[in-house]
Structure formats: structure tokens, C-alpha cells
Structure 1
């Protein structure tokens, strides 16, 4: 019975998570939905074990995980599908209020640990809880987030196993999230706003949409692939 209830809570929270990431960055709808996600995880967790009261090791693990992701991000910037996926997530950091986005991310991270490494871990074990965590994140339909959930879900589950409670994975999660929010937006600038440009070979009433490339020294060119390798958008551009 407990597993059925947890499965229902997971499905409900995952739906809210997907809707929150699909909402306009910085909007009241986004903050309301993410708050609802956190409330769902907290309410569904119940009482969970705190575990070993260690601070240094979990924080160091979070910092180490960030270092690995930072190295991966340097590579992902040059892989268009991953770059677009990461930029899509970071739009919420670029276009929203920094304090509110940070608070939302950290509170949601705490709620995830209490639920997934607390109640779900106790009910389904390490592998089951990690698998459900990845499936829940898949509701965002963002490959970068799904990949991150698989990697970090494994790390968090290991922390739970090692410490016997949720405090260690919680500290690791918060440390990792804080560093990601502080650094990643600088690596992935916001996608430039679309502008309308006139095609001189067509009537005035026909306007084509192009996008200005945010990388210095480039100009928009329709009908060709992105050559500069630095655009965070779907534009076509050429390097002079």
C-alpha cells in the first residue's frame, strides 16, 4: 500500500515538475508550480532518517561533482543539442530574479532528497529510488536534466547508503546546486531575442524571422547551418 501511495505522489509531483519547466521563466506560474513540487515531495516523505551528522564529506562530494559537471559543460557548449537543452534550463536563471531562482532551486533540492533518498529509498532501495528519480525528471523532457539526474541520483543514493540518512545527500545536493547556479549561467548565455529581418527579394508583406548570433563578429545568414559553434540558439550565422 505504501509503495502505491508513493508511486501516486511521484506521478503527481512529476507532472507539476514538467509544467513548471514549461512555464515562462520568472513568471508567477513558474514559482507557484515549483513551490507546489517542493510541497508535494515534503508532504509525501513523512518521517525520514537523518543519518550520520557529517558535514565536510558531503559538501566536498558536492563540490567534486560540480567540478565534473563543469568539465562536461565546457564540452557540451560545442554540442548543439546539449547546448540548447542546458540553455533552456538556465533561461529560468537568466530571466528570473536571482535570489528567488536560487531559493527555489535549493528548497526543491532539499525536498527531493527528503522524498527520493528518504521515503522512496526506504520503500524501493537505492536502485529503485534512483530509477524513479530519473523517470520523474524525464517529465521535464530536457535531456540535460535527465542525464544530470542519472549521474547525481547515483551519487545521492551512495551518500544515503554511506551515511544511513538524508542529511549527507541533502548537503551534497545543495552544494552542487548552489555552485551550478553560480557558474553555469556564465558558460551558457541567454538565447538572443528573435528579430524580424526583411528579405529584399520578396514583397514587403513577407517577413522572415532570423536570430542575431550572440557571438561577436558574426552576422545572420538564412538557409545555412550555424558555423560559429558558439550560438546558443537555432540561428544560422557565418563568421566573416
Structure 2
């Protein structure tokens, strides 16, 4: 029972109860942020679709993926100020939220790896995932890992940083998640969109609690790097 209570307290601190903060942004600054974010979302979605359409093993895939990441980063920076955020610790103090982000990323990774065992049994779902995994199989793994890490940071800077701040407070969590998922639609892989929804909801909740992007970045990197290295063997086991 004590472990369950600890787990509940962790979830409440990391995903439910916001850390107090006071920030203001002028109407003109908010309008500018929204214009920049809107243009970046459209360009990034098209760029991601084009990158994933590149033949596995083609060096152009890495360049295209990094190009999309640079687009997200540029959009985030140009849109306005970004914040690292702060998390509440068990003692009542605050921290940067890196440990919370890591642990939440591990939890999401575990759920997805269990789900992969099921997906591997369904041919219509297995095929698209195999196509995504081919980019890791046929390329240099360290390069894929680097691209994955850069993209994870870039996506959080933009979607949980700039985009989240551009939306009205009452819809910024769901709205940023919906647009994050929509940006993957051009890839044609529905499971990638599903993953974006799950990851987006988790990191948006962190963004709401911490007020910044550092915790979401930690979760995103933990999940994405774990999927890169652990999904292929788990998928093979399921098949």
C-alpha cells in the first residue's frame, strides 16, 4: 500500500498539481507567437512527411530529419521566450524536473513495449512499424540515435514550448497535443500518430505542471531513445 501511495503522490506532483508561477505576455507578443507557430506547424508537418518518405538507408533521410528539427527549433526561438520550468519535490522544494521526466518516460516506454508485443501479432499494424524500423536497421545506429535525440529536443521546444504558450490556457494542453499528432499525419503511419497523441498528452501535462520544457524534453528523450534501442528486439520477440 505504501508503494501505491508513493506512486500516486508522484503522479500528482509530476502531472496534476501545477507549480506556482506568474508570467505575462502582451497581446502583440501573443499575436506574433501565434503567426510564427501557425506557419511552422504547416511547414514542419510537410517536412516530416517528406523525410519519412525517403528510402531507408538513404543518407538524405538524416539530412531531411535534421532539417525538420531545425525548423521546429527556429520556429520555437523566433516565436518568443521559452522557459525551462520547475518541478515540485517530495520535500516541498522545487527542481528542474529532470528526474520526474525520466521516470515518466520510462513508464510510457514500458507501456509501448508491452503494446509492441501485441502489434507484432497483427500483420496490418506490423507492416508500417517495420517500415519505420528499417530506418534504424539500414543506417548507422549512432547517427539515427543522434537524429532521434535532436528531433526529440526540437519537438518539445516547439510543441510544448512555443505552441503551448501560443494557445489559450483552457485548451493549450489538448490543443498542442492535437496539433502535434496532426503534424505526423503526412507520414501515413497511423501508429506514429497514436504515439504522438500518447507522448503529447504526457508531456503537455508536464508542461502544465512545470511551466517549462525541460521535464517534457527528459520524458521525450527517455521514451524515444528507449524505443529506438528496445523496440526492434521486442518486436522480433513478438513476431
TM range (shorter): 0.7 to 0.9
Query: Which structure has the larger Rg over C-alpha atoms?
Result: 1
Structure 1 segment 12-51 matched on structure 2, within 5 A: 12-46=43-77, 47-51=81-85
Contact 1:86-1:188 within 8 A present in 2 as well: no
In the superposition, the TM-score normalised over structure 1's length comes to 0.77
Structure 1 gap segments, 5+ residues each: 190-214, 216-228, 231-240
The Cα shift of 1:26 comes to 2.5
Structure 2 gap segments, 5+ residues each: 1-30, 87-95
In 1, Cα distance between the equivalents of 2:110 and 2:184? 22
Name segments (4+ residues, structure 1) moved above 3 Å.
none
State how many pairs are aligned: 192
Structure 1 segment 33-72 matched on structure 2, within 5 A: 33-46=64-77, 47-52=81-86, 53-72=96-115
Write the deviation string for residues 123-175 of structure 1: whole angstroms up to 9, x where unpaired.
12111111110100112110110110011110010111111100000000000
Aligned-residue Cα RMSD (Å) equals 1.5
In the superposition, the TM-score normalised over structure 2's length comes to 0.77
* 1:23 aligned counterpart, secondary structure: coil
* 1:117 aligned counterpart, secondary structure: helix
Match of 2:226 in 1: 179
Structure 1 segment 176-215 matched on structure 2, within 5 A: 176-189=223-236
In 2, Cα distance between the equivalents of 1:62 and 1:18? 25
* 1:42 aligned counterpart, secondary structure: helix
In 2, Cα distance between the equivalents of 1:75 and 1:68? 11
In 2, Cα distance between the equivalents of 1:170 and 1:63? 13
Which structure has the highest helix share of the two? 2
Match of 1:170 in 2: 217
Which structure has the highest strand share of the two? 1
In 2, Cα distance between the equivalents of 1:91 and 1:34? 15
Match of 2:120 in 1: 77
Contact 2:113-2:234 within 8 A present in 1 as well: no
In 2, Cα distance between the equivalents of 1:13 and 1:26? 22
